[in-house]
Amino acid sequence: MHILIIGYVWPEPNSSAAGSRMMQLLHCFHKNQWTISFASPAQQTEHMADLSILGITPESIELNDASFDHYIAEKKADIVIFDRFMMEEQFGWRVEKFSPDSLRVLNTEDLHSLRQARHTAIKKNIEFKTEDLYSDQGIREIASIHRCDLTLMISETEAQLLQNEFHVPETHILHLPFMLDAPTNLNSLNAFEEREHFISIGNFRHAPNWDAVLQLKTEIWPKIRKRLPKAELHIYGAYPPPKATQLHNAKEGFLVKGWAEDAQEVMQNARMCLAPLRFGAGIKGKLVEAMQMGTPSITTQVGAESMHGLLPWNGVVSDDIDTFVDAAVSLYNDKENWQLMQKNGNSILESRYQAEIWEPKLIQRLRLQHQLKDSLRKKHFLGLMLRHHSMKSTQYMSQWIELKNTTVKEN
């Protein structure tokens, strides 16, 4: 199989969960000896992964440019994966027109419209309702999902939401969480006595992470610090803006450290992970990494959503600030309970995120979906209708921009 991935950005596994997720997909395809192409209109960055390790040469493509038509026609890819719905909007109609036999797959990472709607509810200080998803972005995203042959959903909650609320056929959805190696033996990780301080980690460009940092600074950390005066909170994350670094205050034990060269190392050195996420979507890479490194975490309902099923959390889940603070202080000092939470994390990893279970499911489903794509397309009338209408408008807009750009260049 030849698989082409059209990336919204180049994968940065040390910067975001989305980057880690993309690398998991690439490793899975590489293990199965599939030919992999990776293309993106984004600028390459200093933190992007070295794709040459997997035999992949990064290829730049242009937005709103007919050069992509020749590119995709020559590729003859069996499968095209759009990394996030914005790439399907830009390139989906071109793939359908110039490579009609390619299976079109959408990798959502998370439901962007769900994250945006929850964010809007927080800003307005109102309770989130499902109807809040009926926004311009929500309509665009759900339409993109219906147009594709298959959508990869990292969150069970969101997969069910697509089926129940937006009538996406079960045949067009695959729940696919993180695909991870077997959990590390807890005895090989830093012990309770070898760890100190708290950690919070996450890409600063991601709005839920920045909001969490502000919650820690203003509401949570002052209360923890009052009860644990020698403890520190180390804030890590890629691309810290000046407004973040200005929060650094050594006297308060609030240390904004920015980019972590080795996220697993700093996670393993910490005794506790704090993630007071008030909004967001998908599942959280930082909390999975905390489990992998044997670091118990305190988070919210949104933070833990779809991550642990019916299994006990590797820490405490609470939306109440005082409960959050009490749990953080208590676990920080309680070795026996702390070790129990470590074991809870390992149980979650073993039960829900084993690569050896999920990788074969992914490969098998892609092969089957490719085999049945023509019959499934005919049966999904809503998808046919949206491709007929939506893609025409997207196509004409793109061609108008292309013509405008050409005219500017000529002048």
| pLDDT for the residue 318 | 98
Amino acid 50: pLDDT? 94
Positive or negative, the Cα torsion across 358, 363, 369, 372?
Answer: negative
- The pLDDT, as a whole number, for residue 46 is 86
> Residue 14 has what pLDDT?
81
pLDDT tens for each residue of the chain, 411 residues long: 999 999 999 999 887 888 899 999 999 999 999 999 999 999 998 889 999 999 999 999 999 899 999 999 999 999 999 999 999 999 999 999 999 999 999 999 899 999 999 999 999 999 999 999 999 999 999 999 999 999 999 999 999 999 999 999 999 999 999 999 999 899 999 999 999 999 999 989 899 999 999 999 999 999 999 999 999 999 999 889 999 999 999 999 999 999 888 999 999 999 999 999 999 999 999 999 999 999 999 999 999 999 999 999 999 999 999 999 999 999 999 999 999 999 999 999 999 999 999 999 999 999 999 999 999 999 999 888 888 765 556 665 666 666 667 665 655
How far apart CA 313 and CA 273 sit, in angstroms, is 13
What are the CA-CA distances from residue 59 to residues 42, 52, 62, 68 (Å)?
Answer: 10, 12, 10, 11
Q: Are 285 and 20 in contact (CB under 8 A)?
A: yes
Can you tell me the distance from the alpha carbon of 185 to that of 295, in angstroms, rounded to the nearest whole number? Answer: 13
What's the rounded Cα separation, in Å, for the pair 3 and 22?
A: 13
Angle, helices 85-98/67-75, rounded to nearest 10 degrees: 70
> Tokens standing for 135?
């926004």
Instruction: Annotate the chain with three-state secondary structure.
Output: CEEEEECCCCCCCCCCHHHHHHHHHHHHHHHCCCEEEEEECCCCCCCCCCHHHHCCCEEECCCCCCHHHHHHHHHCCCEEEEECHHHHHHHHHHHHHHCCCCEEEEECCCCHHHHHHHHHHHHHCCCCCHHHHCCHHHHHHHHHHHHCCEEEECCHHHHHHHHHHHCCCHHHEEECCCCECCCCCHHHCCCHHHCCCEEEECCCCCHHHHHHHHHHHHHHHHHHHHHCCCCCEEEECCCCCHHHHCCCEHHHCEEEEECCCCHHHHHHHCCEEEECCCCCCCCCHHHHHHHHCCCCEEECHHHHCCCCCCCCCCEEECCCHHHHHHHHHHHHHCHHHHHHHHHHHHHHHHHHCEHHHHHHHHHHHHHHHHHHHHHHHHHCHHHHHHHHHHHHHHHHHHHHHHHHHHHHHHC
Which residue in the block uniquely carries the two structure tokens 């929850």? 118
The reported pLDDT for the residue numbered 169 is 97
Q: What is the pLDDT of residue 74?
A: 97
Question: pLDDT value at position 15?
Answer: 79
Cα separation of the two ends of the chain: 44
Rounded to an integer, what distance in angstroms lies between the CA atom of residue 79 and that of residue 81? 6
pLDDT of residue 408: 57
Q: How open is the CA angle 42-104-65, to the nearest 5 degrees?
A: 40
